[in-house]
Amino acid sequence: MKYDYQLIYNKLFEHYGPQGWWPAETAFEMMIGSILVQNTSWSNVDKALINIKPFLHPELVAQLPIEDLAQLIRPSGFFNIKAKRIKAYMEWFKTYDYDIHKIKKVDRLQLRNELLSIKGIGRETADVILLYAFDTPIFIVDAYAKRIFYRLGKNMPESYDAFRKQIEKVLPSDLNLYNEFHALLVEHAKVHCKATPICEKCPLFEICDRRLN
Ligand code: SF4
């Protein structure tokens, strides 16, 4: 199984090359982006990030009235809900004095549980933040990863954490590998393994159960 997962990674990496994620200038921008991207496309997030850029410092976002924050992030959709989620996240972040170095010293499981206790932070968002802001090697089980692994014919569990652990159990705990793996799966789902797959010239064609000839 280790060989299988590593092979998927290797083939994607060889084909698409390093992705260099997350697309953000700072870890704080990354965290905000991970909430903004819930239920929307990255192009909408980009518009919201342009609006909020002048305020992209923890103290400034924490001080912004929630109504103003909601208007700034309006292009990302569900902006009232997302403004509440960002405010809830900021409350938690403040408990660490907005200090990412302090957070990185916390035990991984405890940190994940703390993130999951924030209203509006589900497993996928928590894991994206753990991976891309707090340098925790973790596999993100998003809709793209599920689609690709199921199509490849991998016997993956239904539940988020069982799926994640099945991969983490056999791959090395390598931050760069997990960083690239998630980004490569997203790229692959956008280029080849779309809702209607374009299997011709797919880098995983030879190892895929669902390939369309
Ligand atoms: S061969 Fe087709 S279904 Fe299989 S991974 Fe590639 S694009 Fe997806």
CA distance 147 to 150: 5
Same domain for 10 and 66: no
Confidence (pTM): 0.95
Please name the amino acid found at residue 91. Answer: E
Residue 212 domain-assigned (yes or no): no
Among candidate residues 132, 166, 184, the one where a domain is terminated: 132
- pLDDT in the model for residue 1: 62
Residue type, 14: E
Check residue 2 and give its pLDDT.
57
| Residue 160 and residue 65 in one domain | no
Q: What pLDDT, on a 0 to 100 scale, did the predictor assign at position 212?
A: 77
Joined tokens for residue 75: 């292009």
- At residue 213, the pLDDT reads 66
**Domain final position from 117, 132, 147:** 132
What is the domain-level CATH number for residue 34? 1.10.340.30
Q: Are residues 105 and 191 in the same domain?
A: no
Are residues 162 and 112 both part of a single domain? no
Among residues 2, 42, 30, which one has the least CA distance to residue 186?
Answer: 42
Tell me the one-letter amino acid at 5: Y
Question: Is the distance from the beta carbon of residue 207 to the nearest atom of ligand 1 less than 6 Å?
Answer: no
What is the model's pLDDT at position 3?
66
Same domain, 118 and 176: no
Residues of the chain with pLDDT under 70: 1-3, 213
Residues 6+ apart with CB under 8 A from 81: 120
Mutate to test the pocket of ligand 1, among 7, 186, 191, 208 (most ligand atoms within 8 A of CB): 208
Question: For 95-124, what is each residue's pLDDT tens digit?
Answer: 999 999 999 999 999 999 999 999 999 999
pLDDT of residue 211: 85
Structural domain span for residue 182: 2-20+139-207
Distance from the CA of 131 to the center of ligand 1, in angstroms?
A: 26
Closest to 36 measured CA to CA, from 27, 28, 45? 45
Q: State both tokens at 147.
A: 């689609």
